[in-house]
């Protein structure tokens, strides 16, 4: 049963990168979902009081500007043109064809309630303080309530159902939730629920009428059997029966507002009218589960750095930034597959080598260290057998022979292999307040509401701003890192390039590293086989034993810091046998 009430609620709210604008003839909406009785959902647009009703009409009034709707005026026969309905920046736009139904527009663009209707994701990752907004109650008889709960894998108990928009909330009403200050928040993912006051039929279904407590729904009433609770996790619903279950919630990502989703509810137990406007709400400040994590796009260089976003219920890897001019930073800035090729240095008589500008060795003030020879072709110090050797683009010289750099190299955590050297690309990088450096680039602090998301088993270390394994409660001593609750040798599993050895979690050249106690430690990988990567002209590059870029310092933090999506970083951005450097950074959303 429904009591028809003319409802045109003009609101502004919502966004999350989704699909481009689509154009659709309403003569036959392309439904993606159906109910168990094969009824397509959501239902077609209706008409009430001369105005269109239904989800598309509600989305056409969800705009950045208040008090507007993107619904064109009727277009009677004989009209030379029709009102396009472009009145603001709204989720959906509806407009008429000449001499079509004067109430129900023929055309739709923007958020398509039929094509984009999904029942996933079921859980969400909170980012910023959340804003809950009631868009419309449609023509619903029941005064439903909407809220959130902690995702635990189990059906939430009544005390964990936190109402944000109660039965008395009106369209346009908002409620703000700051989970960082919410005692009931357990951390992790959250889900959403709808509580109705529907009276049961005694057979597990609904009667279509209000219960003994009236039409205003409460969690306490539902707990007493006076009403039903429906969840974003469908398995908890009272009428759940596997894949043939009734659908009570359709989820949409906004086209207009960042980190925002719409929740369109159908409130009747087994006897829905399928318009999904019984309670339409939006929640900003959330991402779908798994979003906000660094990922690899598959492109070379910095163009391969991405972040996961939710697109119609599925995770996708969206690139963070485009290629730019090559800089001397150990990164492939122009995304051509070569690191620092063509990079220049501001200082006179300096050349780019291993991500840093170093003095050319033919100049008297920049002599080579013992055991190195000055290569006149490049102006860099190399092992004697590599002086005068010209390698192909992307190759390095070892012992007088050219080969692929970084082959088989596994650098310690926090270092990246560039030109056959394990380097800390963040050495010397200064980030702005609220940002941290990872792999040579700055990105938002993970504790910020719009910062990185941490991928399990990592968690946000609020002190450092990075994602880390925090399972070692007392921390770990220098030279070790935390892994699943145990402190392990920071050199475990490390394979340093030729001529470098791992001491206290650092690969250093010449067999020498600063020991954890500040003394000098000697590794077993000695020798002078380290070599640089060749530039685009095929000239050999040298070791940087004469520059201060080795960064041979023992790690002092015991947090085992690691970036979000660290595995994806190694497999993706450095996947070409560790010959390229990657970037962790968030761009504007």
What confidence tier does 498 reach under pLDDT thresholds 50, 70, 90? confident
Domain annotation covers residue 109? no
- Mean of pLDDT values over 520-546: 36
The two structure tokens encoding residue 42: 């959501």
Does residue 236 carry a pLDDT above 70? Answer: yes
Instruction: Check residues 257 and 382 and name the one with the higher pLDDT.
Output: 257
- Mean of pLDDT values over 381-407: 86
Which range among 58-62, 221-225, 426-430, 522-526 shows the weakest confidence by mean pLDDT? 522-526
- Mean of pLDDT values over 464-481: 91
Task: Encode 245-258 in three state secondary structure.
Answer: CCCCEEEEECCCCC
Which range among 63-77, 130-144, 378-392, 427-441 shows the weakest confidence by mean pLDDT? 427-441
Does residue 289 carry a pLDDT above 60? Answer: yes
- Name residue 314's beta-bridge partners: 311
Query: pLDDT at position 556, please?
Result: 30
Domain annotation covers residue 26? no
Give tens-digit pLDDT for 431-468.
898 888 877 777 778 877 667 777 778 888 888 888 88
Model pTM score: 0.65
Query: pLDDT at position 509, please?
Result: 66
DSSP annotation string for 531-562? -BBP-TT---B---TTSGGG--------S-B-
Query: pLDDT at position 168, please?
Result: 98
Does residue 537 carry a pLDDT above 80? Answer: no
Evaluate whether 160 touches 176 at the Cβ level (below 8 Å).
no
Domain annotation covers residue 246? yes
Domain annotation covers residue 247? yes
Query: pLDDT at position 542, please?
Result: 36
Instruction: Check residues 60 and 547 and name the one with the higher pLDDT.
Output: 60
Number of domains forming the structure of the chain? 1
- Mean of pLDDT values over 156-183: 96
- Name residue 435's beta-bridge partners: 444
Domain annotation covers residue 193? yes
Query: pLDDT at position 499, please?
Result: 72
Query: pLDDT at position 22, please?
Result: 32
What confidence tier does 512 reach under pLDDT thresholds 50, 70, 90? low
Domain annotation covers residue 45? no
Which range among 16-25, 208-217, 357-366, 434-443 shows the weakest confidence by mean pLDDT? 16-25
User: Any residues with CB less than 8 A from the CB of 126 and at least 6 apart, and which?
Assistant: 179, 190, 285, 286
Question: Which has the closest alpha carbon to 140: 240, 60, 208?
Answer: 208
Domain annotation covers residue 334? no
Query: pLDDT at position 455, please?
Result: 77
In whole angstroms, give the CA distance from residue 232 to residue 500: 53
In whole angstroms, give the CA distance from residue 218 to residue 236: 18
Does residue 584 carry a pLDDT above 50? Answer: no
Query: pLDDT at position 546, please?
Result: 34
Instruction: Check residues 32 and 209 and name the one with the higher pLDDT.
Output: 209
What is the extent of the structural domain holding 221? 124-288
- Mean of pLDDT values over 125-153: 94
Which range among 128-142, 189-203, 324-338, 482-496 shows the weakest confidence by mean pLDDT? 324-338
Does residue 538 carry a pLDDT above 60? Answer: no
Highest mean pLDDT among 108-122, 322-336, 506-520: 108-122
What confidence tier does 290 reach under pLDDT thresholds 50, 70, 90? confident
Instruction: Check residues 269 and 396 and name the one with the higher pLDDT.
Output: 269
Query: pLDDT at position 98, please?
Result: 97
Work out the percent of the chain whose per-residue pLDDT is above 70.
80
What phi, psi does 213 have (nearest 5°)? -90, 5
Does residue 284 carry a pLDDT above 90? Answer: yes
Instruction: Check residues 85 and 510 and name the one with the higher pLDDT.
Output: 85
Does residue 517 carry a pLDDT above 70? Answer: no
Task: Count CA atoms within 13 Å of residue 394 on its CB side.
Answer: 11
Query: pLDDT at position 567, please?
Result: 29
Query: pLDDT at position 174, please?
Result: 97
Domain annotation covers residue 407? no
In whole angstroms, give the CA distance from residue 219 to residue 166: 10
In whole angstroms, give the CA distance from residue 248 to residue 246: 6
Work out the percent of the chain whose per-residue pLDDT is above 90.
48
Helices and strands in the chain: count of H runs, count of E runs: 3, 39
Maximum distance among all alpha carbons in the chain? 95
Give tens-digit pLDDT for 542-570.
333 333 332 222 233 333 333 333 323 33
């Amino acid at each position: 049963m429904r009591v028809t009430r003319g409802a045109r609620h003009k609101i502004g709210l919502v966004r999350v990168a989704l699909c481009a604008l689509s154009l659709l003839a309403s003569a036959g909406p392309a439904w993606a979902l159906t109910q168990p009785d094969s009824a397509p959902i959501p239902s077609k647009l209706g008409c009430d009081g001369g105005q269109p009703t239904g989800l598309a009409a509600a989305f056409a009034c969800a705009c950045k500007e208040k008090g507007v709707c993107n619904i064109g005026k009727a277009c009677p026969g004989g009209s030379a043109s029709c009102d396009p309905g472009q009145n603001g920046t709204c989720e959906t736009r509806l407009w008429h064809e000449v001499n079509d139904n004067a109430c129900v527009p023929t055309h739709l663009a923007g958020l398509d309630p039929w094509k984009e209707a999904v029942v996933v994701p079921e859980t969400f990752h909170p980012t910023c303080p959340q804003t809950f907004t009631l868009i419309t109650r449609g023509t619903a008889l029941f005064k439903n309530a909407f809220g959130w709960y902690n995702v635990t894998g189990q059906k939430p108990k009544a005390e964990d159902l936190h109402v944000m928009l109660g039965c008395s909330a009106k369209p346009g009403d908002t409620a703000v939730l700051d989970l960082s200050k919410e005692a009931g928040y357990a951390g992790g993912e959250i889900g959403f629920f709808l509580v109705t006051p529907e009276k049961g039929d005694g057979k597990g279904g609904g009667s279509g009428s209000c219960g003994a407590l009236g039409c205003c729904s409460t969690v306490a009433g539902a707990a007493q059997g006076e009403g039903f609770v429906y969840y974003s996790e469908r398995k908890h619903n009272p009428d759940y029966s596997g894949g043939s279950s009734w659908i009570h919630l359709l989820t949409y990502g906004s086209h207009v507002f960042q980190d925002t989703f719409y929740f369109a509810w159908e409130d009747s137990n087994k006897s829905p009218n399928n318009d999904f406007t019984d309670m339409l709400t939006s929640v900003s400040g959330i991402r779908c589960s798994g979003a906000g994590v660094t990922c690899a796009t598959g492109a070379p260089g910095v163009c391969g750095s991405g972040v996961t976003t939710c697109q119609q219920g599925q995770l996708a890897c969206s690139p963070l930034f485009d290629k730019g001019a090559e800089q001397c930073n150990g990164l492939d800035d122009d995304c051509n597959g070569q690191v620092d090729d063509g990079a220049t240095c501001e200082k006179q008589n300096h050349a780019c080598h291993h991500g840093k500008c170093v003095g050319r060795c033919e100049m008297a003030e920049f002599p080579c260290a013992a055991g190195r020879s000055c290569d006149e072709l490049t102006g860099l110090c190399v092992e004697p057998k590599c002086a005068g050797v010209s390698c192909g683009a992307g190759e390095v010289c070892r012992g007088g022979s050219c080969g692929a750099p970084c082959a088989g190299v596994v650098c310690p955590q926090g270092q990246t292999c560039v030109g056959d050297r394990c380097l800390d690309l963040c050495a010397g990088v200064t980030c702005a307040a609220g940002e941290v450096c990872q792999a040579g680039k700055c990105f938002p602090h993970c504790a910020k509401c719009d910062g990185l998301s941490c991928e399990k088993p990592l968690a946000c270390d609020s002190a450092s701003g990075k994602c880390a394994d925090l399972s070692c409660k007392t921390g770990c001593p220098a030279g070790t890192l935390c892994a699943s609750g145990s402190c392990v040798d920071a050199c475990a599993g490390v394979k340093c390039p030729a001529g470098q050895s791992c001491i206290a979690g650092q690969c250093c050249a010449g067999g020498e590293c600063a020991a954890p106690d500040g003394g000098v430690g000697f590794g077993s990988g000695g020798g002078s086989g380290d070599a640089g990567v060749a530039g685009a002209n095929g000239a050999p590059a040298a070791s940087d034993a004469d520059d201060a870029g080795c960064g041979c310092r023992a790690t002092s933090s015991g947090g085992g810091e690691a970036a979000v999506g660290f595995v994806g970083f190694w497999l993706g951005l450095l996947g070409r046998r560790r010959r390229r450097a990657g970037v962790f950074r968030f761009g504007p959303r």
